[in-house]
Structure 1
Amino acid sequence: MLQVWAPRGIGEISAGDDLARIVGDAIAASDEGLAAGDVIVVTSKVVSKAEGRIVAADDREDAITAETVRVVASRTSPTGHTTRIVENRLGIVQAAAGVDASNTPEGTVLLLPEDPDASARALASALRDRFGVEVGVLLSDTLGRAWRDGQVDQAIGAAGVRVFEDLRGSVDQQGRELSVTLPCVADELCSAADLVKGKASGLPVAIVRGRADLVGPLDLPGARRIPRTGPADMFRKGYDEAFADGWAARDARR
């Protein structure tokens, strides 16, 4: 059985705060505590705040540009607002390179953590030391999805958690071999956690219990391996951008 809950008592996080201590105190004060095999899902925003990843709001567009490796698509609405879907330096494709203007101090925006996997490892290590049990940590962020409206929380950092459940080579109930089945369980856990965290509830951390089979050593591969980049990325550009490139290539051959 899967259980998911959000510990209370985590207030506003500021640059330099000891996030591991704050999260640990909230968990220790909860009725559920922490058990071996639990996965702690932490909203990346509070990690960014603790790490001081804050810039002035009037520099948001410059910050997006600085965090961008490649523009996937750019659209300007009738009101003049431009949305950029980009690949950021972490390999994640998302709107505005993850530069966030919600739930931040007035006049500021937040960048994603510098190294989400390293941040997750530091948290996991500190919580393992404090509670004496093997737990995993995931850092989550809200991402849109191609071909589907709405957003879901997905993993951008991981430590001590198997981010994929590799079912390739096993068989289904009819005995047919599964050749491509590779659920991204890290994303699934982050989405489940967001059902109790929410976006405006002041609950930035959730505990997921019931998948201890996914928890292991801190040196397991992190979430950096989840994004598809390079030759494996079959959808590198938006429709309009790909269409324009096609016409340009045709004209260049003439």
Structure 2
Amino acid sequence: MKRVEVLAPDGVPEVGSGDDLAGLLTAVAELEDGDVVLVTSKVVAKAEGRVVPGTRDDLLATETARVVARRGPTTVVRTRHGLTLAAAGIDASNVEPGHVVLLPVDPDASARRLRTRLAETTGCTVGVVVTDTAGRAWRHGQTDLAVGAAGIRVLDDQAGRLDPHGNELAVTAPAVADELAAASELVQGKLGRRPFAVVRGRADLVLPLGDDGPGAVALVRADHEDMFGLGSREAVVRALRGDPADVAAFGAPAGPDDVLAAVVAVTGTTPRQLADGGLEVDADPAVLRPLAHAHGWRLETDPTGPARIRPPGP
């Protein structure tokens, strides 16, 4: 029988700038080798002096790398950490009025510092995960996920393993750091004043001291891998605008078959394929321009002949 325990100690006082998180945790919990310590990004940020005057609207631009989508009062952005979060993860709860809590500057570095400090004070080898709350694109509600990690395998890559029927797994890779973060919230609660949790029973995920692992940044999809880098409305606007700075938000350039299918679907014409892999199209350039932009290709126009859509250059 496999057993995992998730413990969230009571008795942690209000955290302020400069507080020793390791000391606060060890005052209320006894750690063991192989434990995974989870701590909310809010108390990490408070300890690191990330409580600032202002509102979410005041600070949103400074914490945003690019806007993903807007719907009414909600703005979902890609932060400079690479995270996709509503309001850039800026938190206005459990803080004095007129102030907000920003995410830690480098959550992976925060996790590494806490892990080192815990090893110094307890002699234990533990993993550390910094958690935050996020929504999901296709589901209601929120769950906690890992925004920082140290000393833990954040992904359990099972590619190449065989299932009980002998089928080889190809892309199965549970995001175990996110799963641990979600489990911790079940015992911490949003109003319970329990900023720490300890998961016991997954020592197999914990790395030896001196090996902090790839960090939670390894869970973040790069722009070229992101299939949902923009909201549906925003994608239309960005494609029509055609700003070269927006190309990354559409992901990696599309392959020739995808571009050909898109041109046929939008224009109703059958392009002629060129020797370099490009397409010659008898269609309005005003239609082809956003189509090419959204697929990462280049549009070339000639007033004396048909337009051409070419793959991105070197």
- Counterpart of 1:121? 112
- Counterpart of 1:61? 57
Q: After TM superposition, give the deviation of residue 6 of structure 1 in Å.
A: 0.5
- Counterpart of 1:79? none
- Counterpart of 2:234? 241
Among residues 44, 47, 54, which one is paired with 1:47 in the alignment? 44
- Counterpart of 2:248? none
For each residue in 1:28-80, what CA deviation from the matched residue of structure 2 results, as whole angstroms up to 9, or x when unmatched? Answer: xxxxx21111000001100000111011134x32311101001100111xxxx
Mark the runs of 5 or more structure 2 residues left unpaired by the alignment: 243-284, 290-314
Q: After TM superposition, give the deviation of residue 20 of structure 1 in Å.
A: 1.6
Question: How many Å separate the matches in 2 of 1:153 and 1:37?
Answer: 22
Q: After TM superposition, give the deviation of residue 246 of structure 1 in Å.
A: 4.3
Q: After TM superposition, give the deviation of residue 16 of structure 1 in Å.
A: 1.4
Question: How many Å separate the matches in 1 of 2:191 and 2:231?
Answer: 31
Among residues 261, 272, 286, which one is paired with 1:251 in the alignment? 286
Question: How many Å separate the matches in 2 of 1:54 and 1:251?
Answer: 48
- The structure with the larger Rg is 2
Q: SS of 1:86's equivalent? A: strand
Kindly indicate whether structure 1 or structure 2 has the higher relative contact order, using CA contacts under 8 Å at least 6 residues apart. Answer: 1
Question: How many Å separate the matches in 1 of 2:65 and 2:286?
Answer: 27
Q: SS of 1:26's equivalent? A: coil
For residue 43 of structure 1, what is the amino acid of its counterpart? T
Q: Taking structure 1 as the reference length, what is the TM-score of the superposition? A: 0.92
Question: How many Å separate the matches in 2 of 1:229 and 1:95?
Answer: 18
Q: SS of 1:139's equivalent? A: strand
For each residue in 1:106-141, what CA deviation from the matched residue of structure 2 results, as whole angstroms up to 9, or x when unmatched? Answer: 221000001101111111111112221211110000
Matched, 1:199 2:174: no
- Counterpart of 2:205? 214
Q: SS of 1:70's equivalent? A: strand
- Counterpart of 2:266? none
Question: How many Å separate the matches in 1 of 2:182 and 2:49?
Answer: 26
Mapping 1:217-228, distance limit 5 Å: 217=208, 218-228=211-221
Q: Which moved more, 1:151-160 or 1:225-234?
A: 225-234
Q: After TM superposition, give the deviation of residue 253 of structure 1 in Å.
A: 4.4
Q: How many residues align?
A: 243
Give % identity.
51
Q: After TM superposition, give the deviation of residue 247 of structure 1 in Å.
A: 4.8
State the superposition RMSD in angstroms: 1.5
Kept after mapping to 1: 8 A contact 2:76/2:86: yes
Q: After TM superposition, give the deviation of residue 184 of structure 1 in Å.
A: 0.3
Question: How many Å separate the matches in 2 of 1:231 and 1:128?
Answer: 38
For residue 13 of structure 2, what is the amino acid of its counterpart? G
Mark the runs of 5 or more structure 1 residues left unpaired by the alignment: 28-32, 77-81
Q: After TM superposition, give the deviation of residue 252 of structure 1 in Å.
A: 6.4
Matched, 1:104 2:104: no
Q: Taking structure 2 as the reference length, what is the TM-score of the superposition? A: 0.75
